Amino acid sequence: MSVTAAIYGLMGESLTPEEKAFFRDADPWGFIVFARNIDRPKQIIRLMGELRDCVGRDAPIFIDQEGGRVQRLKAPLWRAAPPAARFGELWDREPELALEAVRQNHRLLAQELRDLGIDCDCAPVVDLAIPGADAVIGDRAFHAEPGPVAEMARAALAGLKDQGVAGVIKHIPGHGRADADSHYALPVVREDHETLHETDFAAFKGVAEAASMAMTAHVTYTAIDPENCATLSKDVIAQIIRGEMGFDGLLMSDDLSMKALSGTLRQRGERALKAGCDMLLHCNGERAEMVEVAHAAITLSGKALERARAAEEARGTAQGLDVAATHDAMARCFAEAGLEAPAP
């Protein structure tokens, strides 16, 4: 069966017979896992194998492992990685040390993921830290300025790829100044285009050529398209993401089940693809919703298929990593700048 333009989540720590049958029939391009799917390393490795067995190929498997508040693999079994904002503090003292620390941190993140059979990380966040905005981004952002954010995001992508993991920049074209959390409501950004061009959009433009994948923002930008959020907007995708930013990688929607969107899951999926998204993301594992998304998810072809293949190649090959030495290298960057080093 042809591969479809979808990434699905699942309900628990193992696949049910119904999930196996659905994934076999729907043949999604990839999968995404969350804390609810995670127990111990052996269980995860087994589950990743089961997912790939359902579709009979080395399907990409995603996770949100940013560090800080957003990491599905948690201590004590896995490292408590620092939030992005810690590297921004380091940047303000020693930019070159910050870039090295970011790279080493993401090499460590990737090594943990690859050991479990996970090969795509929904990171780094390229949103800006904007005072007064909704706290959903906050310390998940590297910095308030687009230049530092773009440079640290490129270092993060390089660190992930060094250990065989492809990164996904998010939330394009920018969620940092949103006035709401798109999990629960539709955020609206009212700044003029010139301001966005110089700030939020500039950060993504600065990393666009280095990224093989990006995840959209369920955010409405009134200066570009006052009627539709970015995920569902032809104007935002064509004019800003593909045009102004020059991003030509795989563009996936943020989670279609989030409350920022309205309509049925099928309608949301159809609108996202019509607007220019290459891939539909559905995360909560609810089978009835996934069936709706499957009715919208078209067979990958043309430019979307080319981008998907390039994204698969971007996973690269894991290199050997001395975990202790790599963490020490990151810690030295903070120490040299007079900052407290992240815990091992």
Spatial separation of the C-alpha atoms in residues 320 and 88, rounded to whole Å: 28
Residue 190 neighbours by CB distance under 10 Å: 12
Q: Which residues are catalytic?
A: 183, 254
CB burial readout 48-57, b (16+ within 10 A) else e: beebbebbee
Q: Write the CA distances from 259 to 57, 138, 264, 265, integer angstroms.
A: 33, 20, 11, 11
Tell me the backbone φ, ψ of residue 8, rounded to 5 degrees: -120, 150
- Please name the helix (run of DSSP H) or strand (run of DSSP E) that holds residue 216, with its range, or none: strand 213-216
Q: Write the CA distances from 20 to 26, 119, 132, 320, integer angstroms.
A: 10, 21, 45, 33
Spatial separation of the C-alpha atoms in residues 65 and 78, rounded to whole Å: 11
